[in-house]
């Protein structure tokens, strides 16, 4: 529990540490650290005077690592207050003096002490001032007795510390810098620093924490290498081959970032395609080449153009990607694949299939990209079977996923159907088996608003999956309403169930008003087709609809005409 | 109220880590992990409050020698609680607790327990 008011003050506890002989110092030092940690905020009663800070500083050299750690926990906090310029802080010492003392312990022989020095919150301002001249940080680097070069060297040592959490904290500090390559450039031996970074790419230390607290060393390393490539590529190139080995490693993010680094080196003219071709092709053949962005796909094409033996593989990879069912990716991803494939076809001498040729024609300019058009849409005109396969595969996701909001949505389907209904029809036929799945019904209902005739073809299959116990689901009523005009025959039993679904029905949950609306719309549509089973009392709704009084924001049972015709209102407010 | 929690669990000699990982970072919890160093498994996630983590640790206490839990609670200024556990003569239980009545650096508590008990940190 936080200390009570009558507990000894921080000053008293600190004095006790300084006065206790080294052999017995551990207990008071830990008590002081605990008090510090439980009352972190600065206030008159908890800040340390300069005199006390000066008395504690020698304990940073105490033979007992527990004392060194405990006192460090207290003094790093005092430095933090000095840096904050906390008004309540008693100390008038410049923060640089304490920073010097704390940094002396950065390579302490005991891990607990090193760990305490490396807590990012406290060390970060010093690094920002040292390596980035951050004007927001109130640290005068001229007043520090350690140089940027010394500090860079120590940070790289901690990046290879045997204790993982120290490596993670050091990595978080690298991450916190705007551009961590400044640490490499400050290092007394930048090449050794780069070697360390490249070795860190295979550091197994894993973390799921926020980057501010601790982060994965390999991620800090690749970020730093990317930044360094931008400024001083010649420092990276000697290690480039080692990095390329990771293109077939099991970390997808690293593979992607290494390809990005390669692209940067290529664009700067520091390397040629021959330097990466073998590794890129190995990754492609092992199915782990990162097709994440337009740039990584274009690199693949550039490599293929220098290596005709892999053109077929690259073309088929890109063709698969442009049609891929991957809900995590945006259409732009697939447009990028089409664009890359088009360029490969245009710039290569070799013959391709009909789909590839069309892709090449349609991507000659950047019109697909600029208009945000999914590549499957223009392909529907000439290659309906190819597009139908891709869509059938894509809409499979509707069957399995609770919430689907990926590439394969109503808009894509309708756009394809607009171009060529032959590319769309087989997709719905394939979905009819799964018409009992809510997401599938919702999709069909949505499509039926634009293309009732397409959906009408599968309504008989759909109806076989519908239980005729009211309430009939909203999506089913909606499909009946929108497709009724095509003359689909709806069984009398189902019409009766839809009529009952106008409700109110027992204590069915309140998803309600909209379901009642679509039940009424279905009945209106069926009555327009003179369906025998539609009761006469639907008449007031037909009139209301005709007069524009009924829309999906209105609860049909609340219409005055409905009351007069004998429809019962919804009694319970919660039913609405 | 949401929570951000961090656990360092030190395995008992010859204990199998798999059941500990399953209990702390399985489908029923909002913790992820484990990264391992020496005999210490580390976890973090949105699991909480402290009492819930207490119970989780207790379910695998036979496999644990020691543990540290640090949790930040949201809400208002928040609150940070840290506990050090040992499997002692009276069984497994919290030996020492730290508490700050606002959100703060979880690493700071781990540093204290590292200094006092020599147990590795999760963050």
Chain B residues near residue A33 by CB distance under 8 angstroms: 112, 115
Q: Which range of residues forms the domain containing residue A23?
A: 1-117
- Beta strands across the sheet bearing B91-100: B31-37, B40-45, B3-11, B64-73, B79-88, B91-100
Tell me: do A86 and A27 sit in the same domain.
yes
Query: Residue A209 maps to which CATH number?
Result: 1.25.10
Question: Do the domain assignments include residue B68?
Answer: yes
Residue A137 lies in a domain: no
**pLDDT tens for each residue of A438-470:** 888 889 999 998 999 889 888 888 888 888 887
Strands (E), A68-112: none
In a domain, A131, yes or no: no
- pLDDT at site A482: 92
**Range(s) of the domain holding residue B67:** 3-117
Chain A residues near residue B106 by CB distance under 8 angstroms = 213
- How far apart CA A494 and CA A459 sit, in angstroms, is 13
Q: Are residues A198 and A258 in the same domain?
A: yes
pLDDT, tens only, A354-404: 999 999 999 988 777 667 789 999 999 999 999 999 999 888 877 776 555
Q: What is the mean pLDDT of chain A?
A: 88
Flag whether A494 is in a domain.
yes
Q: State the pLDDT at residue A545.
A: 87
Probe site for chain A from B3, B101, B121, B122 (most A CB atoms < 10 A): B121
Q: Supply the pLDDT for residue A44.
A: 45
Domain-located, residue B52: yes
Of A487 and A479, more confident:
A479
Number of domains in chain B: 1
Is the predicted pLDDT of residue A260 greater than 80, yes or no? yes
**What pLDDT does residue A327 have?**
55
Would B33 be classed as within a structural domain? yes
Chain B: residues touching A (Cβ < 8 Å): 6, 32-33, 35, 37, 42, 44-45, 97-102, 104-112, 114-116, 118, 120-123
Across A19-32, average pLDDT: 96
Q: Which two three-digit tokens encode residue A278?
A: 């073998």
> Alpha-carbon distance A206 to A188, whole Å?
29
In angstroms, what separates the C-alpha of A79 from chain B's closest C-alpha? 14
Residue pairs between chains A and B whose CB atoms are closer than 8 Å: 91
Lowest mean pLDDT segment, chosen from A324-328, A369-373, A479-483, B86-90:
A324-328
A246 and A255 Cβ atoms separated by less than 8 Å: yes
Residue A45 in this model has a pLDDT that exceeds 60? no
For every residue of B96-114, DSSP letters joined together read EEEEESS---HHHHHHHHH
How far A68 CA sits from the closest chain B CA (Å)? 8
pLDDT at A141 over 50: yes
Residues A162, A202 within the same domain:
yes
Position A138 in a domain: no
Same domain for A151 and A279?
yes
- Which residue in A7, A43, A112, A169 has the most chain B C-beta atoms within 10 A of its own C-beta, making it the best mutation to test that interface? A112
* Among chain A residues, CA nearest to B112: A70
Q: Of the candidates B120, B71, B22, which has an alpha carbon nearest to the alpha carbon of residue A111?
A: B120
User: Chain B residue closest to A77 (CA)?
Assistant: B108
Whether A419 and A502 map to the same domain: the answer is no
| B123 located within any domain | no
Over residues A43-61, mean pLDDT: 85
Inside any domain, residue A126: no
The residue length of chain B stands at: 123
Counting the structural domains of chain A, the total is: 5
Cβ–Cβ gap B112/A37 under 8 Å: yes
What's the pLDDT score for residue A575?
44
pLDDT at A385: 96
Tell me: do A459 and A496 sit in the same domain. Answer: no
Select from A4, A208, A213 the residue whose CB has the most chain B CBs within 10 Å, as the one to mutate to test that interface. Answer: A208
């Amino acid at each position: 529990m936080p200390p009570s008011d009558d507990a000894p003050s921080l000053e008293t506890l600190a004095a006790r540490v300084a006065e206790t002989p080294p052999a017995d110092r551990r207990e008071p030092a830990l008590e002081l650290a605990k008090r510090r940690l439980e009352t972190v905020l600065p206030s008159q009663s908890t800040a340390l005077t300069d005199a006390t800070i000066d008395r504690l500083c020698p304990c940073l050299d105490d033979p007992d690592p527990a004392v060194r750690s405990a006192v460090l926990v207290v003094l790093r906090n005092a430095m933090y207050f000095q840096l904050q310029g906390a008004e309540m802080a008693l100390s008038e010492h410049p923060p640089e003096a304490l920073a010097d003392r704390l940094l002396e312990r950065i390579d302490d022989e005991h891990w607990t002490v090193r760990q305490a020095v490396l807590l990012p919150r406290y060390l970060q301002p010093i690094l920002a001032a040292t390596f980035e001249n951050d004007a927001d940080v109130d640290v005068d680097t001229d007043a520090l007795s350690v140089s940027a070069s010394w500090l860079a060297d120590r940070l790289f040592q901690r990046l290879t510390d045997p204790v993982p959490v120290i490596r993670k904290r050091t990595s978080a500090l690298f991450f916190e810098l705007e551009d961590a390559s400044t640490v490499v450039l400050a290092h007394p031996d930048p090449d050794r620093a780069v070697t360390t970074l490249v070795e860190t790419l295979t550091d197994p230390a894993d973390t799921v924490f926020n980057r501010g607290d601790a982060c994965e060393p390999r991620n800090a390393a690749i970020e730093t290498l990317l930044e360094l490539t931008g400024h001083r590529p010649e420092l990276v190139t000697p290690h480039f081959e080692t990095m390329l080995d990771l293109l077939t490693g099991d970390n997808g993010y690293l593979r992607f970032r290494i390809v990005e680094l390669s692209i940067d080196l290529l664009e700067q003219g520091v390397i040629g395609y021959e330097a990466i071709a073998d590794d890129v092709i190995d990754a492609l053949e092992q199915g782990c080449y990162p097709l994440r962005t337009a740039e990584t796909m274009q690199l693949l094409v550039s490599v293929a153009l220098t290596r005709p033996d892999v053109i077929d593989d690259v073309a088929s990879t890109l063709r698969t990607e442009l049609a891929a069912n991957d809900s995590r990716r945006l259409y732009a991803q697939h447009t990028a694949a089409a664009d890359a494939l088009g360029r490969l076809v245009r710039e290569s001498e070799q013959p391709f299939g009909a789909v590839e040729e069309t892709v090449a024609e349609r991507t000659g300019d950047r019109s697909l990209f600029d208009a945000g058009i999914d590549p499957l849409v223009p392909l529907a005109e000439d290659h309906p079977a190819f597009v139908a396969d891709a869509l059938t595969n894509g809409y499979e996701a509707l069957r399995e996923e609770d919430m689907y909001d990926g590439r394969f949505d109503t808009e894509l389907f309708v756009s394809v159907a607009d171009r060529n209904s032959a590319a769309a029809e087989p997709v719905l036929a394939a979905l009819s088996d799964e018409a009992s799945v809510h997401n599938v019904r919702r999709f069909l209902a949505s499509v039926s608003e634009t293309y009732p005739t397409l959906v009408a073809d599968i309504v008989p299959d759909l109806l076989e999956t519908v239980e005729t116990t009211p309430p009939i689901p909203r999506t089913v009523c909606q499909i009946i309403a929108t497709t009724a005009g095509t003359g689909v025959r709806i069984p009398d039993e189902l019409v009766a169930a839809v009529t009952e679904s106008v409700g109110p029905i027992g204590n069915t949950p309140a998803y309600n008003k909209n379901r009642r609306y679509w039940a009424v719309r279905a009945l209106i549509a069926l009555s327009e087709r003179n369906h025998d089973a539609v009761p006469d009392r639907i008449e007031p709704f037909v009139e209301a609809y005709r007069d524009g009084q009924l829309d999906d924001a209105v609860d049909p049972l609340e219409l005055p005409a409905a009351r007069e015709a004998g429809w019962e209102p919804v009694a319970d407010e919660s039913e609405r | 109220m949401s929570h951000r929690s961090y656990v360092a669990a030190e395995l008992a000699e010859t204990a199998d880590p798999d059941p500990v990982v399953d209990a702390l970072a399985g489908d029923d919890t909002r913790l992820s992990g484990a990264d391992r160093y020496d005999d210490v498994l580390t976890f973090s996630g949105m699991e909480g409050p402290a009492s819930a983590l207490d119970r989780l640790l207790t379910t695998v206490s036979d496999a644990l020698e020691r543990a540290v839990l640090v949790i930040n609670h949201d809400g208002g200024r928040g609150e940070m609680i840290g506990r050090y556990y040992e499997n002692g003569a009276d069984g497994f239980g919290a030996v020492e607790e730290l508490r700050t009545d606002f959100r703060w650096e979880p690493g700071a508590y781990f540093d204290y327990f590292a200094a006092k008990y020599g147990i590795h940190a999760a963050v």
